Amino acid sequence: MINLNSKIYVAGHNGLVGSAIVRELKKKGYNNILVASKKRLNLINQSKVLKFLKKNKPAYIFLAAAKVGGIYSNKKYKADYLYENLTIQSNVINGAYLSGVKNLIFLGSSCIYPKNCKQPIKESYLLTGELEPTNDAYAIAKIAGVKLCESYNLQYKTNYTCLMPTNTFGPNDNYDELNSHFFPALIRKIHKLKNSKRNSLVLWGNGKAKREVVHVDDIANACVYFMNKKKKPTLINIGTGKDFTIEYYAKLIAKTILPQKKINIKYDLTKPNGIKRKVMDISLAKKFGWKNKIDLKKSILDTYLSFKKEIRKVK
């Protein structure tokens, strides 16, 4: 168990997942949380990362720092996604080992799994098929992170665990039109209809593709939960185990944030549907006693309230 006074370093504390981890730690009474802004510590600089870790000597590390984005950004900046993520995670993971940190949580993504693998997706499906080409650079970097943690565990007996979340949303998300994931993009699009005479919402494809989403506070809860587990597998899927169509999410978000307005959904069939279905097998996480707790409808409203605070930043 993590001592309430243990020094805990959260890398990427300003991001969607990192900020949620900080909230969860504070909620549970951990009062020795170490963070560093990019200006103070650029995680791409290997020597500075090692110096920082050796000087501050954290007992636990949550590695949530990463370069992330939507389909457009992932396709356009493949080299940046591959290089920056490989470098960040390698510097922190290797730096953790060299600094004597035995306990680390590495955050990945469900995109590490093959694009055409069986559903629900089990941890054992890793490296069994071709990756989705639109985000393969990011996925390859994250796979390398998983294998790096696994290798340190085998060779040096560390306790480095890799949690693979499904599509994550919540406070502090990215709502940029070209660089966000589908769920925050839907929230932004539907919000735009609030004070408009228009009531049409255009979805890419036919809206029938199925996706699984999970609130970021559930991810943060899983991070702290599994950090407190002494023995566990290196790779664990984190999600709800439930998936719904893009059309369902669009209607649910519209009903939640615009209950007085009837939204007419239209489909742009010239655009791709993407993978037909993507849902995680979370039986391993359940075996170790963890499952998500946050209600989808309530989490949409909470996320929307947070989004409204960020409107000036995304206009």
Query: Which residues are tagged catalytic?
Result: 138
Contact 202, 266 (CB under 8 A): yes
Q: How far apart are CA 166 and CA 169, in angstroms?
A: 10
Q: Amino acid identity, residue 32? A: N
Structure tokens at 262: 């009837």
Q: How far apart are CA 292 and CA 46, in angstroms?
A: 35
Q: How far apart are CA 305 and CA 308, in angstroms?
A: 5
Q: How far apart are CA 236 and CA 155, in angstroms?
A: 20
Q: How far apart are CA 95 and CA 152, in angstroms?
A: 12
Q: Where does the chain show beta strands of DSSP type E?
A: 8-11, 33-34, 60-63, 103-107, 159-165, 167-169, 200-204, 210-211, 213-215, 235-238, 244-245, 264-268, 277-278
Q: How far apart are CA 216 and CA 214, in angstroms?
A: 6
Beta bridge partners of 204: 268
Q: How far apart are CA 180 and CA 60, in angstroms?
A: 30
**Termini Cα distance of the chain:** 44
Determine how β-strand 210-211 pairs with β-strand 33-34. Answer: unpaired
What DSSP string runs through 184-213?
HHHHHHHHHTTTSS--EEEEETTS--EE-E
